[in-house]
Amino acid sequence: MEEFEPNIIGFLCNWCSYAGADLAGTSRIQYPPNVKIIKVMCSGRVNPMYVVNALQQGADGVLIGGCHPGDCHYSRGNYLARRRIAVMKRLLEYIGIEPERVRMTWVSAAEGRKFAEVVEEITKDIKKIGPMKKIRRENIW
Amino acid sequence: MKIGVYVCECGSNIASTVDVDKIVEEAKDLPNVAVSRVYKYMCSDPGQELIKNDIDEYDLDKIVVAACSPRMHEATFRSVLEDKGLNPYVLEIVNIREHVSWVNSDKDKGTEKSMALLTGAVHRSALMKPLERKKVGVIHTALVIGGGIAGIQAALDIANMGYKTTLVEKTSSIGGKMSQLDKTFPTLDCSQCILSPKMVEVNRHPNIKLLSLSEVVAVDGYVGNFKVKIKRNPRYVIEDKCTLCGDCLPVCPVIAHDEYNQGFSPRKAIYISYPQAIPASFIINPDDCLGIDPLICTKCKEVCGPEAIDFDMQPEIIEEEFGAIIVATGFAPYPIENIGEYGYGTIHDVISGLDYERIVSASGPTEGKILRPSDGKIPETVVFIHCAGSRDPSKHLPYCSKICCMYSTKHALQYKHIVHNGTAINFYIDIRTAGKDYEEFYQRAAEEDKVIYIRGKVSEVLKDGNQILIKGVDTLSGETVELHADMVVLATGITPSEGTKEMASLMNLAVDINGFIREAHPKLKPIDTAIAGIFIAGTATGPKDIPDTVSQASGAASKACGILSQDELEIEATVAIVDDSLCRGCGMCAEACPYSAIEMQVINQYGHSTRIAYVNEAMCKGCGSCAAACLNGAINQLGYTDSQILALISALGGD
Amino acid sequence: MVDLKNLIEITKKIVSREDVRYVVGYKKGTYGFQIMPAFAYTPEDAEDFIYSPVCSKNLAVYTILEEKLPLKRGEEEDKRKIGVVVKGCDSRAIVQIIQEKGLKREDLVLIGIPCKGVIEPKKIEKMFPNQTDLIDVIENDNSEYIINIGGKTHKVPKNELLSDVCKSCEFPNPPLYDVLLGEEVEITEIEEFSKIDELDEKHTEDKWEYWKRHFERCIRCYACREACPLCYCKECMADTLNPQWIRRSVNLSENAAWNIMRAYHLAGRCVSCGECERVCPVNIPLMELNKKIERDVKKMFDYTSGLDEEEKPLFGMFKPDDPEDFIL
């Protein structure tokens, strides 16, 4: 049987985490190809309903990346994101979605290594728990 | 709709781990794709030409480029679109180099990931709309808040570049803390002598309007177009009429503490801070004067030849518009009363660094003789305690105040120069002399002038008869130290000036944990604030010495002129946009906005007055925090709309 | 016990005012334990007003339900006030709406009722099924409900019929009112909303089994949304087509997404009146979702909704030291 390769959607802020992911690339740090990145200008742009939507539409996990507290390019977007995601993550856990599926991280533009490590970790974690089936959308109308 | 897809090989950088030919072929089957091509270096001139030709040949209206990070070449490809008359915002970059080929060596997986990202981009591209970079006009005047050396330098620089500048100062004279200093390190030139020519220049400059005794009370608007309200408090002396003759001084019956001399000398209720003060005019302090009431006392008015005294002056509010603002609100010494352990307040001869500046100054209360406050005797031993209130996270300030090592060294040196056989002892934690000629200055004090340095913290300062007993530890030898001194000078640290926080909140600026105004980026944007068009200079952002303050002020001035010199400013295109038919006026977006760019307005909707969010596009920086706060998607971010992001999610999810 | 005469008198007085359009209160329903919202436009209308332990409906919903039809040219907006009879949770809903600028304080006249808790309709209907006549319920001083059915009097311990949300209610007294009917209720004991802890301690799969069973039954009638005084968006995100956040189809995935979204959108806003759960035709325990978030928000951000009109929205602000133990 082919090994399960999780499909993870990553929302990364333009200024820190996306740049951190770029740095991982320019440093040629190898990491699993499972996280597909959507660039947003700020982690504060991430509507927690995107997380639900991603899990519905075939993602086995979601990663949200922002600047470290105090470093947000827009001064406070990451703080707002932290609150919103905290509430949504706990709600999803409460209804029985594995906590491993929704992750948030602070990655600075200098932390290419950290970005790769985060991807390694969540990929490994989600591989363990298997595909997201619970609220996955069946493509029937 | 016709989308052109361009996949870059980047030499072998991409092609070696991504099957580019395969994704180019597969891309042809994606919806709306009219042409799909691969090229070795898409960013090269021939690569760009390829896209340009296709735009003509296939009549393309959207472009998707799969290549390196948008941080590398987004601008390059945008100009390709612009050259061909397409809107630069209908370009979508897929990062298959930094995010795929360079981080993964499995070609199958890399190809699969690239294809997924490309599919997402094509789906999103279909939903992209041309965006407009709007322009706003600029008012070609600047406001400088704070008349210390930072504000003075900034105002002069802007004025010299030809722009009208208003300088607002809270007290009766510009000059700030620097005007109270006797000499400056490391050159020991007289502070007043280098400062007062600049003050005079401010006064004379045709482009500078000086508002003393004034405070900014409201700031509205946005870059290029700030509307500011300034409250001008009454001086009770007409500046233009006062000739500084001083006839009023002998007749004034009120004696008050002279703030300029740190309270070491008296002044009258009508006075001038110091002879070089600008505006060069007396002032009546309404708190000291017998009530600004002609019925009680009119002695000064009676003797005033030029009839400069006006008891009827009232505070006035001035409203002006500015294109840029510089905040230079300066510092206040750490309140020495807080440092009880060093005996201030209980021992008369324990004074602060700023007190010492006045005592040692030739224009000060002792006319430059070093006499201790308690009995007016020349102190034979003076102890200087560094870091008084600084670098003490448990009780006082956690940070280093930067200037104290140097000014205490200067104080000790000055003492030795005046009292040749006296003893000057410095207690320090570390000596920090990072500055041009600073280390040499310290070496000179220690070696040539025999200033004694003891590494260690003072634990106790006690009164012992006429003398002061100092107990501490010499941390280099590990031995306890007990010595007697005749005077103790505390090197008090730097804190934000009173009102910094209020001023910051007027302008929606952030302050850091210590109350200093936060810069837009601590390293790369130390002069900018989070609000476009507002800059910071001097100690308002943190401890600084005079050269750093002056350089930052000039930097802020040139930044401000960068705005003032434009006729129009181009603003962010990916701004927030409100759907009036969905907005319910709750204002959650406005609360989430870091820039106060969203204002709640009441509009007439079919006869009903309805609250609606309104985005000031000139203030919006396009972060999208508002869009994520809205409960029903009534506010969106152009270029990153919910529809576009959901399309991406759908494609990347694979469903 | 609310003095009915007093309620009617006060309502009459308020309706008679020139600056008041109408007052919303309760009146008897048509059968069984039902009650209905009553709109008093005239003092005579107020004669129908009642108040009893079965008056569970949150009338705050009527302040924001009214459709604002386009006005004809020359026609003026009716700026008169609306009167509302409010219990503790109803008043909190009003405070929350005012906080969100959906209403202005000066647009309202609030008749506050210190609330001793309401009867859960589903419980009483189960205990006394198929009642065709109208039935009165009174609460006595011994924490019992006196229920008169066909000449026969039943005494039921209050706890058996009390709504679950009322058992854990911390705010029985209206935080905002113009007149208060009777003495404030003393808060004696508050039961923990223990269902959350029970579920929280369970294994992820068991949690999902629990909610899957409920979400599968959801028929997406949106009654929960309609009854909620705080679901008053002009167009709900569940209804928009571009973008389409949630598909129309009724299946586990979309149903789950809807229920997650509904609960999330009430974070820091829900006032625990329990109306959503009460009106749910398939008995989804919606309050367990709402209460879960309420508790998280209180624990993590020390935030309580519906108490202060000047409070800022939960998600429009932050504290630098908000918890971030979940962040990698």
Question: What is the per-residue pLDDT across B75-93, written as a single tens digit (0 to 9) for each?
Answer: 999 999 999 999 999 999 9
Q: A61 with A102: CB under 8 angstroms?
A: yes
Regarding whether B630 and B585 lie in a shared domain, the answer is yes
Q: Tell me how far apart the alpha carbons of residues B460 and B341 are, in angstroms, rounded to a whole number.
A: 6
Regarding whether B502 and B491 lie in a shared domain, the answer is no
Q: How big is the A-C interface in CB pairs under 8 Å?
A: 119
- Decide if B587 touches C, using CB distance below 8 A: yes
Structure tokens at B577: 């946009």
Q: How far is A122 from chain C (nearest CA, A)?
A: 10
The total number of residues shown for chain C amounts to 328
By C-alpha distance, which of A134, A69, A78, A79 is closest to A101? A134
Domain membership of residue B474 (yes or no) is: yes
Q: What's the pLDDT at B368?
A: 87
> In this complex, which of C102, C233, C242 lies closest to B632 when CB atoms are compared?
C233
The values of phi and psi at residue A110, to 5°, are -100, -5
Closest chain A residue to the Cα of C246, Cα to Cα: A53
| Sequence-distant contacts of B594-603: CB under 8 A, at least 24 apart | B594/A74, B594/A75, B594/A76, B594/A77, B594/B530, B594/B621, B594/B623, B594/B625, B595/A74, B595/B508, B595/B530, B595/B531, B595/B619, B595/B620, B595/B621, B596/B508, B597/B222, B597/B621, B598/B626, B598/B635, B600/C101
Contact C68 B629 (CB under 8 A): no
Q: What's the pLDDT at C47?
A: 94
Could you please report the per-residue DSSP string of C25-92? EEEE-SSBT-EEEEEESSTGGGGG-B--TT----TTHHHHH---PPPPTTPPP---EEEEEE-HHHHH
Of chain C residues 261-320, which have a CB less than 8 A from chain A? 261, 263-264, 267, 289, 292-293, 296-297, 300-301, 314-318, 320
Could you please report the per-residue DSSP string of C247-295? -SS-SHHHHHHHHHHHHHHTTTT-----HHHHH-TT---HHHHHHHHHH
Which residues have C-beta within 8 Å of that of residue C44, sequence separation ≥ 6? none
Closest chain B residue to the Cα of C98, Cα to Cα: B586
Contact B646 A59 (CB under 8 A): no
Regarding whether B509 and B420 lie in a shared domain, the answer is no
Q: What's the pLDDT at A141?
A: 47
Q: Give the domain extent around B105.
A: 3-127
Q: What's the N-to-C CA distance of chain C in angstroms?
A: 54
CATH architecture classification, A8-129: 3-Layer(aba) Sandwich (3.40)
Give Cα separations from B613 to B435, B576, B616, B630, C125 (angstroms).
50, 10, 10, 11, 46
Regarding whether B626 and B598 lie in a shared domain, the answer is yes
pLDDT tens digits, residue range B460-488? Answer: 999 999 999 999 999 999 999 999 999 99
By C-alpha distance, which of C148, C100, C150, C152 is closest to C270? C100
Q: How far is A42 from chain B (nearest CA, A)?
A: 5
Regarding whether B465 and B344 lie in a shared domain, the answer is yes
Structure tokens at B594: 């870091």
Residue in A9, A57, A101, A113 to test binding to B, most B beta-carbons within 10 Å = A57
Domain membership of residue B413 (yes or no) is: yes
Other Cβ atoms less than 10 A from the Cβ of B348: the count is: 15
Q: How far is B103 from chain A (nearest CA, A)?
A: 4
- Chain B hits for A33, Cβ within 8 Å: 100, 103-104, 106, 109-110, 112-113
Q: What's the pLDDT at B550?
A: 97
Taking the CA atoms of residue C223, residue C226, residue C230 and residue C234 in that order, the dihedral angle to the nearest 10 degrees is 130
- Helix axis angle for B107-127 and B20-27, nearest 10°, is 30
Q: Collect the ranges in chain C with pLDDT lower than 70.
A: 1
> B146: domain CATH number?
3.50.50.60
Regarding whether B323 and B212 lie in a shared domain, the answer is yes
Q: What is the pTM of this model?
A: 0.79
Is the pLDDT score of B655 beyond 70?
A: no
Domain count along chain B: 4
Contact A95 C207 (CB under 8 A): yes
Regarding whether B50 and B172 lie in a shared domain, the answer is no
Q: How far is C79 from chain B (nearest CA, A)?
A: 10
Structure tokens at B257: 């503490």
Contact A41 B640 (CB under 8 A): yes
Which residues have C-beta within 8 Å of that of residue C254, sequence separation ≥ 6? A56, A137, C220, C246, C247, C248
Regarding whether B482 and B381 lie in a shared domain, the answer is yes
- Decide if C6 touches A, using CB distance below 8 A: no
Contact B607 C70 (CB under 8 A): yes
3-class DSSP state for residue C212? helix
> In this complex, which of C72, C101, C236 lies closest to B632 when CB atoms are compared?
C236
Please name the chains neighbouring B, where neighbouring means 3+ C-beta pairs under 8 angstroms: A, C
Contact B643 C243 (CB under 8 A): yes
Other Cβ atoms less than 10 A from the Cβ of A67: the count is: 27
Contact A38 B648 (CB under 8 A): yes
Domain membership of residue B293 (yes or no) is: no
Q: Tell me how far apart the alpha carbons of residues B138 and B225 are, in angstroms, rounded to a whole number.
A: 6
Contact C77 B600 (CB under 8 A): no
Distance of CA C6 to the CA centre of its chain: 24
Contact A7 B594 (CB under 8 A): no
Contact A30 B105 (CB under 8 A): yes
> B631: domain CATH number?
3.30.70.3270
Residue in B91, B99, B596 to test binding to A, most A beta-carbons within 10 Å = B99
Q: B314 with B133: CB under 8 angstroms?
A: no
For chain B, what percent of residues have pLDDT higher than 90? 85
Closest chain A residue to the Cα of B574, Cα to Cα: A41
Contact B586 C102 (CB under 8 A): yes
Contact C300 A138 (CB under 8 A): no
pLDDT tens digits, residue range B566-610? Answer: 999 988 899 999 999 999 999 999 999 988 899 999 998 888 889
Other Cβ atoms less than 10 A from the Cβ of C229: the count is: 27
3-class DSSP state for residue B172? coil
Q: B449 with B413: CB under 8 angstroms?
A: yes
Grade residue A140 by pLDDT with cuts at 50, 70 and 90: low
Please name the chains neighbouring A, where neighbouring means 3+ C-beta pairs under 8 angstroms: B, C
Structure tokens at B427: 């207690």
> B96: domain CATH number?
3.40.50
- Chain B hits for C265, Cβ within 8 Å: 631
Other Cβ atoms less than 10 A from the Cβ of C212: the count is: 18
Give Cα separations from B506 to B216, B239, B327, B509, B612 (angstroms).
9, 29, 12, 8, 24
Regarding whether B609 and B526 lie in a shared domain, the answer is no
Closest chain C residue to the Cα of A99, Cα to Cα: C204
To which H or E segment does residue B64 belong?
A: strand B62-67
- What value does the mean pLDDT take over residues B285-292? 85
pLDDT tens digits, residue range B41-63? Answer: 999 999 999 999 999 999 999 99
Contact B606 C68 (CB under 8 A): yes
Contact A41 B623 (CB under 8 A): yes
Closest chain A residue to the Cα of C319, Cα to Cα: A79
Q: How far is B78 from chain C (nearest CA, A)?
A: 27
Contact B653 A58 (CB under 8 A): yes
Closest chain C residue to the Cα of B642, Cα to Cα: C243
Give Cα separations from B44 to B77, B318, B646, C220 (angstroms).
10, 57, 33, 55
Regarding whether B197 and B91 lie in a shared domain, the answer is no
Q: How far is C105 from chain B (nearest CA, A)?
A: 15
Regarding whether B555 and B528 lie in a shared domain, the answer is yes
Q: How far is A46 from chain B (nearest CA, A)?
A: 6
Closest chain A residue to the Cα of B113, Cα to Cα: A33
Q: How far is B499 from chain A (nearest CA, A)?
A: 22
Contact A44 B622 (CB under 8 A): no
- Chain A hits for B652, Cβ within 8 Å: 7, 9, 36, 38, 54, 58-59
3-class DSSP state for residue B145? strand
Reduced DSSP (H G I as helix, E B as strand, rest coil) percent helix, strand, coil of chain B, to 5: 30, 25, 45
Domain membership of residue B490 (yes or no) is: yes
- Chain B hits for A36, Cβ within 8 Å: 113, 116-117, 120, 652
Contact A86 C237 (CB under 8 A): no
- Chain B hits for A84, Cβ within 8 Å: 628
- Chain C hits for A104, Cβ within 8 Å: 326-328
Is the pLDDT score of B549 beyond 50?
A: yes
Is the pLDDT score of B530 beyond 80?
A: no
Closest chain C residue to the Cα of B610, Cα to Cα: C102
Q: What's the pLDDT at C3?
A: 86
Is the pLDDT score of A79 beyond 90?
A: yes
Give Cα separations from C64 to B32, C60, C102, C311, C321 (angstroms).
44, 8, 8, 20, 36
Q: What's the pLDDT at A1?
A: 57
- Chain A hits for B646, Cβ within 8 Å: 50, 53
By C-alpha distance, which of A114, A36, A115 is closest to B100? A36
Closest chain A residue to the Cα of C205, Cα to Cα: A96
Q: How far is C124 from chain A (nearest CA, A)?
A: 29
β-strands B183-184, B189-190 pairing: antiparallel
Going through B435-507 in order, the beta strands assigned E by DSSP cover 452-455, 458-464, 467-474, 479-485, 487-492, 494-496
